Structure 1
Amino acid sequence: MDYYRKQRNYGCRIHDQYTYMGMKTLVLENEKIRLSILLDKGLEIFEFLLKSRDLDFMWLTENGVDNPNRYLPTSPDSQSTYIDYYIGGWQEIFPNGGVSSAYLGAQFGQHGEVAHMPWSYMIEIDTPEMVAVRFTVKTKKVPFKLSKTITIYANAAKIDIKEEIENLSEVPLRYMWGQHLAFGKPFLEPGCTIRMPENITIIADELDVADNDQSARVKRGITHEWPWVEETSGNMTDISVLPPKGKPSEIVYMKGFKDKGWYQVDNARLNAAICVEWDADTMPYLWYWQEFGNTTGYPWFGRHYNIGLEPFSSYPTHGLSEAVRNGTAGYIQGREKRMFSMSTTLMEL
């Protein structure tokens, strides 16, 4: 932290002198939005606030934000360790997506490993018209460096993100890379709608089962065309419209995005929406996680109504070894770099 950096209470501004729950926290804001980020825990975005509505688009679990240093995991499995620390919000996922997986002798935990690591940062631009901050992290199990630059602009309810992964070794490597965005209350509710391009294919992977072995709503082992899916009952359902609480919890995957992927989640009652755009060449899949309060056991106990709409390089949520097997894992040569970009906009309808 630069103690002598000029302070500002107008236009675009950055606050890097804060802590939240004992963790180093960085806040970016302008006239329209406020973005709060946990530097000490995976660069998690736990607040993305539209100031005009006092409306936060990031979902928080009932457990909320907690400092991992205050809690010792008592479960031997990596999935429970991740979930016990999971706050909701928005995490970077790399180089493993989904459950525990092994690759080249390295054993990854759930969504390992940058989602729980501390990141460093450097302020690149700090003016009333624009603020840009570059964040970096190095993985420990495999030799990668990941950089992420977040930019905000005056009088704009938008953030731009540019990222880079670098293979720090001479060895070609595989990876899974994704953006774990989760939406819930106060923004998300039954009746919200999801919009995305036409001709998108929905993959209902037969490896997936709903939480706690509950029956899935979407028929497995086949593909569907957005937004219509065949239910296990044989009925056709439009999954772009969020259902009443109590529908089965599950995950499906979308593909078919051309160049720039995008989706928009609308809440007509609140007259508010969020639009996410991303480089679909780097992340051609979109994971659609649905938790509609039907998981009555661990970890949700029927308390949550939320979704995740997560751009990813690969699928399904069964770890890097499965993505390597099915040919969707990312590939990078020794000393090579790969780029990614995305933007997210909050809107009043």
Structure 2
Amino acid sequence: MDYYRKQRNYGCRIHDQYTYMGMKTIVLENEKIRLSILVDKGSEIFEFLLKSRDLDFMWLTENGVDNPNRYLPTSSDSQSTFIDYYMGGWQEIFPNGGVSSSYLGAQFGQHGEVAHMPWSYTIEMDTPELVSMTFSVKTKKVPFILSKTITIHANSAKVDIKEEIENLSEVPLRYMWGQHLAFGKPFLEPGCSIRLPENIKVIADELDVPEDQSARVKRGITHEWPWVEETSGHMSDISVLPPKGAPSEIVYLKGFEDEGWYQVENTRLSAAIRVEWDANTMPYLWYWQEFGSSTEYPWFGRHYNIGLEPFSSYPTHGLSEALRNGTAGYIQGRETRTFSMSATLLELKK
């Protein structure tokens, strides 16, 4: 932290003097939006606020934000360890997506490993017209550096993100890489809608239904967005969010061109979020749905939220499964791969 960096209370600004729940926190803001980032915990974005409405688009779980240093996990299960610290919001997922998995002798936990690691940061630009910061992390189990640069401009509700992974070894490596965005109240509610490009396919993987739960979407087949065949045989439009209590599940969307995009709209609030990304690097979109039907750990029927998550690979069953189905990312020794995306908060016309 630069104690002598010029302070500013107008235009674009960076606040790097804060802690939240004892964790180093960066706040980026301008006239329209505020973005709060937990540097000490995965560079998680736990607030994405539209100032004109005092409306936060990031989902916050009932447990909220907590500092991993304040709580010792009481289970050896990596999934529950991740969930115990999970606060909703927006995480970077790399190099394993989903459940515990092994690769080249390394054992990864749930969504391991950068989501719970402390990151470094550098201020790239700090002016009233533009602020830009680079966050970076070095993985422990496999030899990678991941960096991302977050930029906002004055009088804009758009956040631009550019990322890079670098293989620090001579060994070709495989990976899963994704953006774990989750939306919930106060923005998300039944009746919200999801807009996507045309000709999107819906993959309903048979691995994704727990034995103690029923699925809404028929498994083992590919559907045409937004209409899916339910297990009952009826057709359902999954672009419109159902009432609370509908089955909770996950499906995977594919068929995006070079630039993927989606838009989640709440017409009652006249508000929306639009996410655009490089679909060559992340060709899949995970659509996680938690509508309150999960009455056991960890949700206990208390939540209504979705995740719409650009990913390099699928399903949420770890790197070993992505290797088996051929969707795992590939990088040569000493090679770098780049990715870009943006997220924009919108006020819809009534």
TM-score by length of 1: 0.99
Which residue identity is paired with 1:333? Answer: Q
Q: Tell me which amino acid in the other structure corresponds to 2:126.
A: D
SS of the residue corresponding to residue 146 of structure 1 reads: strand
Cα offset, 1:203, TM superposition = 0.1
Tell me, yes or no, if structure 1 residue 23 matches structure 2 residue 12.
no
Aligned partners of 1:325 and 1:224: how far apart in 2? 22
Equivalent position SS for 2:81: helix
Q: CA RMSD for the aligned pairs?
A: 0.5
Aligned to 1:345, the other structure's residue is in SS state strand
Question: Which residue of structure 2 aligns with residue 93 of structure 1?
Answer: 93
1:322 aligns with 2:321: yes
Distance in 2 between residues matched to 1:227 and 1:75, nearest whole Å: 39
Equivalent residue for 2:118? 118
Map 1:269-288 to 2 at 5 A: 269-288=268-287
| In 1, Cα distance between equivalents of 2:200 and 2:271 | 24
Look up the SS of the partner of 1:310 in the other structure. strand
- Give the 4+ runs in structure 1 shifted more than 6 A: none
- Give distance in 2, aligned partners of 1:85 and 1:200: 33
Q: Gaps spanning 5+ residues in structure 2: where?
A: none
> Mapping of 1:221-240 within 5 angstroms?
221-240=220-239
Normalised TM-score (structure 2): 0.99
User: What's the CA shift for 1:207?
Assistant: 1.1
CA shift at 1:76, angstroms?
A: 1.0
**Partners of 2:158 and 2:62 in 1: how far apart?**
27
1:143-158 alignment, distance < 5 Å = 143-158=143-158
Q: How does 1:299-338 map to 2 (within 5 A)?
A: 299-338=298-337
Report the equivalent of 2:342: 343
Residue matched to 2:50: 50
Measure, in 2, the Cα distance between the counterparts of 1:332 and 1:15: 35
| Distance in 2 separating the partners of 1:82 and 1:167 | 25
1:49-198 equivalences in 2 (<5 Å): 49-198=49-198
Mapped partners of 1:104, 1:2: distance in 2: 41
Query: SS at 1:81's partner residue?
Result: helix
Amino acid at match of 2:131: V
**What's 1:220 paired with?**
219
Q: Which secondary structure state, in structure 2, belongs to the residue aligned with residue 207 of structure 1?
A: helix
Secondary structure of the corresponding residue to residue 82 of structure 1: helix
Q: Quick one: distance in 2 between partners of 1:125 and 1:76?
A: 43
Residue 322 of structure 1 aligns to which amino acid in structure 2? E
Q: Secondary structure at the match of 1:289?
A: strand
Q: How many residues align?
A: 348
**Matching residue's letter, 2:344:** T
1:213 CA displacement = 2.5
In 2, Cα distance between the equivalents of 1:241 and 1:273? 14
Tell me, in whole angstroms, the C-alpha distance in 1 between the residues paired with 2:305 and 2:67: 23
